[in-house]
């Protein structure tokens, strides 16, 4: 028997798509992009229709219902989803679920469209009798069509006159969808393009030429901090819009980049282009509406974090990935994609220009540019001939601090405050102290669920795990030896803030880290206070290094460079160089030049030396040589398989069994298998974790080996789970 068959990607851990019969009642609306509920074994699941065709339907189960009334993505996205799923070896249905905003993914959060009543004068001539009705009708005849809510603000209490006009036929009543707009109550001064500097103009000309040429054009814009990359993005977008195509702008974290988003909105607001912001800080309803207006083709520019790479634009001309080196582009759980890499994939599939921007490109990106696989554009100087900040290392073996801050940095802070200029301090540890240490036995208090020490918070009188959020009051005695002397060891931002208050009693000091920015709007009000110069010294974790543009900041201090350099990760030097360069780049962006102090015990480390000299290329050369020696990215490709479960012995045994299965085929393919070994964080949220790392000099063998994973996963003991991370960033 033949009939309509839907190919459905079910949001479940399946290796393939499934076919379902489209029942008669759903035929008219079943098409690609629709969300459906389908039977799966003895339960039901959400799925996404990829294709509908006539075919044999014998034995097929029917689709139960359609969810929503319009497609969640256009047919052109299907190939992109398929390639992304294949690249990351992740189930297609789960890929699509991750790509869609929560309100559309078909879970428990299904969001409904909002509607509103609208009114319009009819063709009927003449006038009603009552003066209020006349007034109202006059108004309606002068406008196009008005929403009820709007009419009520112009004519308060007009409900009964309106009803009368509708009843007499003077006015037509209808309904339309009302989109939730998170920015409706925000007004912005319009902003126009500025005259670009010669260097900006040169870079822009290259981008423009690539746009004219068309096709897939990957480009890296390597511009030092404060070199004016954003202006180049803005003008490139105008070109894209002029050619009738759309632009997608990815930023690391919307909540942390309010300034960039405002600049985009100011430039394109006021009807020049419609712009949608997609991010997780929006309400479900706002995201649902923004997504659907993009899917309907009503939006020219989409700005969003990581997941916006899946925005359903259909005339994509350009993708910008700002701060492309940022690790937040990598999703840390579930479908572990990298938005920059998917942006390149999408650009290639849709023949778009992909512009990666950074002052500190990821070494993998820079290496590709050196190989000529990505065009290289450079802005080597700050705009308006502003100098790069002067970076000095403070050798902590010489200038030994009593507390956290060395004398040289203290002096600079005092002097900066006296001049009325702003300072920024980076310390990559939250809380008051990273350990509470027993003075008798030397034990640190640890999280009962994770293999990590508990952070001590003085203000809240609390110990907290920064991984699983376990909390407890500080005990009176050491749990190991009953000693009564528990001392905070090391320093976090809370303690630094306290030390600063003693050093600068008159200064206005604020702290920016995950603890002070948890509430909605808290980060934004800190940014606003910095802009208004209502803060003299801002203390914070790496959050303060990210893309902020405060012209009043002339002094930046890095309190502990060593804990960045000493991470057990082959990318530690790259991470440290990037973070230091980025935070240093916050200094001297305005009229006055900036100074940067970096406190360290490792003052001879090449990453620090290159940072002092603003020498990205020198750093890259040295670090790439080390990577090449070890066969690490970009000279090799990695896949990390992490096994986890409650019982350590079980996980270890499963990891060893897995290696035994993989070793033979891996050797045949020229893949190195490292491990199994406990993960750096060997226990997390009560689960023990083991990893094995697959390493190869090219990708195809890895991809080939990964096709075995579904079978191997099914062979794992019931209580052990495995995640596969392609191109891992954290290991």
**Annotation: binding site for Zn(2+):** 438, 441, 447, 450, 465, 468, 478, 481
Backbone Cα Rg of the chain: 29
Contact partner at residue 492 from Zn ion, ligand ADP, none, CB < 5 to 8 Å by partner kind: none
Stretch that binds Zn ion, among 15-23, 375-383, 461-469, 510-518 (CB under 5 A): 461-469
Distance CA 315, CA 322 (A): 20
The entry of Zn ion, ligand ADP, none that residue 468 binds, CB within 5 to 8 Å by partner kind:
Zn ion
Instruction: Look up residue 140 and give its two tokens.
Output: 């309606």
Q: Is 383 in the site for ligand ADP (CB under 6 A)?
A: yes
The verdict on 194 binding ligand ADP (CB under 6 A) reads yes
Q: Which of 105, 227, 364, 466 binds ligand ADP (CB under 6 A)?
A: 227
Q: Which entry of Zn ion, ligand ADP, none binds 223, CB below 5 to 8 A by partner kind?
A: ligand ADP
Residues 553-572 that bind Zn ion (CB under 5 A): none
Under rule CB under 5 A, residue 447 binds Zn ion? yes
For Zn ion, the closer of residues 266 and 468 by Cβ is 468
CB of 472 to Zn ion, least distance (A): 11
Least Å distance, CB 687 to Zn ion, is: 11
Q: From the list Zn ion, ligand ADP, none, which binds 155 (C-beta under 5 to 8 Å, kind-based)?
A: none
At 726, phi and psi to the nearest 5?
Answer: -85, 135
| Contact pick of 200, 423, 498, 644 for ligand ADP (by CB under 6 A) | 200
Stretch that binds Zn ion, among 150-158, 356-364, 447-455, 521-529 (CB under 5 A): 447-455
- Name the β-bridge partners of 114: 178
Using the rule CB under 6 A, which residue among 97, 199, 222, 229 binds ligand ADP? 229
Q: How far apart are CA 653 and CA 657, in angstroms?
A: 6
From candidates 226, 312, 434, 492, binder to ligand ADP by CB under 6 A:
226
- Does 582 sit near ligand ADP (CB under 6 A)? no
Collapse the DSSP code of 656 into the 3-class scheme (helix H, G, I; strand E, B; otherwise coil) and give the result.
helix
Q: Per-residue DSSP letters for 53-70? A: EEEE-TTPPBP-EEESSS
Q: What are the residue ranges of helices labelled H in 214-245?
A: 229-242
Alpha-carbon dihedral sign for residues 445, 447, 451, 456:
negative
Show the site string, 263-302: x = touches ligand ADP by CB under 6 A, - = not. Answer: ----------------------------------------
Q: Which tokens is 431 given?
A: 């809380």
Residue 139's binding partner out of Zn ion, ligand ADP, none, with CB under 5 to 8 Å set by partner kind: none
Annotated binding site: 438, 441, 447, 450, 465, 468, 478, 481
Q: Is 78 helix (H, G, I), strand (E, B) or coil?
A: helix
Using CB under 6 A, pick the residue from 231, 300, 574, 725 that binds ligand ADP.
231
Instruction: Please state, in angstroms and rounded to a whole number, the distance separating the CA atoms of residues 10 and 12.
Output: 6
Dihedral in degrees, nearest 10, Cα atoms 437, 440, 443, 446: -60
Q: Specify the stretch interacting with ligand ADP by CB under 6 A; choose among 90-98, 191-199, 405-413, 607-615.
A: 191-199
Of 182, 174, 151, nearest in space to 293 by CA: 182
Q: Which of 86, 468, 572, 709 is close enough to bind Zn ion by CB under 5 A? A: 468
Binding region for ligand ADP (CB under 6 A) out of 62-70, 193-201, 455-463, 644-652:
193-201
- When CB distances are held under 5 to 8 angstroms depending on the partner's kind, the choice from Zn ion, ligand ADP, none that residue 230 binds is ligand ADP
Instruction: Provide, rounded to whole angstroms, the least separation between the CB of residue 637 and Zn ion.
Output: 32
The item of Zn ion, ligand ADP, none sharing an interface with residue 470, based on CB under 5 to 8 Å by kind, is: Zn ion
Smallest distance, ligand ADP to C-beta of residue 378, A: 12
Residue 451 CB, nearest approach to Zn ion (Å): 9
> Which option in ligand ADP, Zn ion, none does residue 447 bind, with CB closer than 5 to 8 A by kind?
Zn ion
In the numeric block, which tokens belong to residue 521?
């709007």
Q: Can residue 600 be called a binding residue for ligand ADP (CB under 6 A)?
A: no
Picked from Zn ion, ligand ADP, none, the partner binding residue 143 (CB below 5 to 8 A depending on kind) is none
User: Which of these, 351, 353, 350, 320, lies nearest to 249 by C-alpha position?
Assistant: 320
C-beta of 449: minimal distance to Zn ion in Å?
4
Helix (H, G, I), strand (E, B) or coil at 696: strand
Residues 6+ apart with CB under 8 A from 97: 11, 46, 48, 105, 106, 107
Question: Which is nearest to 582 in space by CA: 277, 207, 256, 302?
Answer: 256
Query: With DSSP H G I counted as helix, E B as strand and the rest as coil, what are the percentages for the chain, rounded to 5?
Result: 35, 25, 40
If one asks whether residue 454 binds Zn ion (CB under 5 A), the answer comes out as: no
Instruction: State how beta strands 537-540 and 509-512 pair.
Output: parallel
**Strand duo 171-178 + 114-121: pairing:** antiparallel
Binding of ligand ADP by 262 (CB under 6 A): no
Binding status of residue 470 toward Zn ion by CB under 5 A: yes
The string over 577-603, giving b where at least 16 C-beta atoms fall within 10 Å of a residue's C-beta and e elsewhere, is bbbbbbbbbbbbbbeeebbbbbbbebb
Compute the distance between CA of residue 350 and CA of residue 340 in angstroms, rounded to an integer: 15
From the list Zn ion, ligand ADP, none, pick the one residue 194 interacts with, judged by a Cβ distance below 5 to 8 Å according to partner type. ligand ADP
317, burial (CB in 10 Å: exposed 0-12, middle 13-18, buried 19+): buried
Closest CA to 14 of 85, 101, 102: 85
What number of residues does the chain have? 731
Q: What is the rounded CA–CA span in Å between residue 365 and residue 220? A: 8
Out of ligand ADP, Zn ion, none, what residue 200 binds, judged by CB under 5 to 8 A for its kind, is ligand ADP
By CB under 5 A, the count of residues binding Zn ion is 7
Answer positive or negative: Cα dihedral of 568, 574, 575, 579: positive
Q: Which of 196, 370, 653, 657 binds ligand ADP (CB under 6 A)?
A: 196
Q: Tokens standing for 537?
A: 């010294």
Q: Which stretch binds ligand ADP (CB under 6 A): 121-129, 140-148, 219-227, 528-536?
A: 219-227
Minimum distance from CB of 78 to ligand ADP (Å)? 35
Distance of alpha carbon 541 from alpha carbon 179, whole angstroms: 37
Query: Any contact of residue 731 with Zn ion (CB under 5 A)?
Result: no
How far is the CA of 199 from the CAs of 228, 378, 384, in angstroms? 10, 8, 11
Interacting residues toward ligand ADP by CB under 6 A: 194-197, 200, 223, 225-231, 383-384, 549, 589
Which residues are at the interface with Zn ion (CB under 5 A)?
447, 449-450, 465, 467-468, 470
């Amino acid at each position: 028997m033949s009939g309509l068959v839907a190919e459905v990607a079910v949001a479940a851990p399946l290796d393939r798509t499934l076919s379902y019969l489209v029942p008669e009642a759903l035929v008219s609306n079943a098409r690609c992009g629709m969300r459906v509920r389908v039977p799966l074994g003895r339960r039901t699941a959400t799925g996404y229709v990829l294709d509908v065709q006539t075919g044999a339907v014998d034995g097929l189960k029917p689709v139960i219902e359609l969810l929503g009334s319009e497609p969640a993505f256009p047919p052109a996205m299907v190939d992109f989803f398929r390639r992304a799923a294949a690249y990351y070896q992740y189930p297609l249905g789960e890929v699509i679920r991750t790509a869609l905003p929560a309100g559309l993914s078909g879970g428990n959060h299904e969001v409904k469209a909002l509607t509103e009543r609208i009114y319009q004068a009819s063709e009927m001539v003449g006038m009603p009798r009552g003066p209020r009705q006349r007034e109202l009708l006059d108004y309606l005849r002068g406008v196009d069509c008005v929403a009820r809510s709007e009419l009520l603000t112009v004519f308060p209490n007009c409900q009964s006159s309106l009803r009368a006009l509708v009843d007499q036929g003077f006015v037509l009543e209808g309904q339309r969808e009302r989109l939730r707009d998170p920015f409706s109550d925000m007004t912005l001064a319009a902003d126009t393009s500025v005259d670009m500097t010669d260097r900006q103009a040169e870079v822009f000309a290259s981008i423009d030429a690539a746009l004219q040429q068309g096709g897939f054009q990957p480009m890296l814009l390597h511009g030092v901090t404060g070199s004016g990359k954003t202006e180049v993005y803005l003008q490139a977008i105008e070109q894209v819009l002029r050619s009738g195509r759309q632009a997608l702008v990815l930023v690391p974290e919307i909540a942390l980049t309010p300034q960039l988003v405002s600049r985009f909105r100011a430039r394109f607001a006021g009807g020049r282009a419609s712009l949608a912001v997609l991010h997780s800080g929006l309400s479900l309803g706002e995201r649902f509406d923004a997504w659907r207006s993009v899917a309907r083709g009503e939006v020219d520019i989409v700005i969003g974090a990581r997941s916006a790479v899946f925005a359903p634009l259909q005339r994509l001309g350009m993708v910008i990935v700002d701060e492309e080196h940022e690790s937040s582009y990598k999703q840390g759980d579930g479908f572990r994609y990298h938005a920059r890499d998917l942006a390149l994939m999408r650009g290639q599939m849709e023949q778009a220009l992909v512009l990666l921007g950074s002052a500190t490109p990821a070494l993998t990106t820079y290496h590709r540019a050196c190989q000529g696989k990505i065009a290289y554009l450079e802005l080597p100087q700050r705009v308006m001939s502003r100098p790069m900040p002067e970076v000095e290392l403070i050798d902590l073996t010489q200038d030994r601090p009593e507390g956290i801050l060395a004398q040289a940095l203290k002096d600079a802070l005092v002097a900066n405050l006296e001049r009325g200029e702003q300072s920024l301090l980076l310390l990559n540890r939250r809380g008051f102290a990273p350990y509470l240490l027993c003075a008798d036995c030397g034990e640190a208090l640890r999280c009962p669920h994770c293999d990590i020490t508990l952070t001590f918070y003085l203000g809240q009188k609390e110990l907290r795990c920064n991984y699983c959020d376990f909390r407890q009051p500080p005990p009176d005695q050491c749990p190991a030896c009953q000693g009564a002397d528990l001392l905070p060891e090391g320093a976090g931002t809370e303690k630094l803030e306290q030390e600063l208050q003693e050093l600068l009693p008159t200064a206005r000091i604020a702290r920016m880290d995950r603890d002070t920015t948890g509430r909605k709007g808290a980060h934004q009000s800190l940014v606003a206070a910095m802009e208004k110069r209502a803060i003299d010294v801002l203390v914070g974790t790496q959050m303060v290094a990210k893309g902020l543009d405060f012209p009043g900041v002339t002094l930046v201090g890095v309190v502990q460079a060593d804990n960045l350099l000493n991470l057990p990760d082959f990318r530690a030097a790259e991470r440290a160089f990037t973070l230091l360069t980025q935070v240093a780049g916050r200094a001297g962006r305005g009229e006055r030049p900036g100074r940067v102090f970096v406190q360290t015990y490792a003052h001879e480390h090449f990453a620090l030396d290159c940072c002092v000299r603003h020498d990205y290329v020198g750093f890259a050369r040295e670090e790439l040589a080390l990577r090449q020696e070890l066969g690490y990215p970009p000279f090799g490709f990695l896949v990390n398989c992490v096994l986890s479960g409650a019982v350590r012995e079980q996980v270890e045994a499963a990891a060893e069994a897995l290696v035994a299965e993989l070793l033979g085929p891996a050797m045949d393919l020229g893949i190195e298998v490292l491990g199994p070994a406990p993960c750096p964080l060997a226990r997390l949220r009560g689960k023990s974790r083991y990893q094995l790392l697959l390493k190869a000099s090219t990708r195809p063998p890895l991809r080939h080996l990964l096709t075995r994973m579904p079978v191997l996963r099914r062979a794992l003991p019931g209580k052990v789970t495995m995640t596969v991370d392609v191109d891992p960033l954290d290991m």
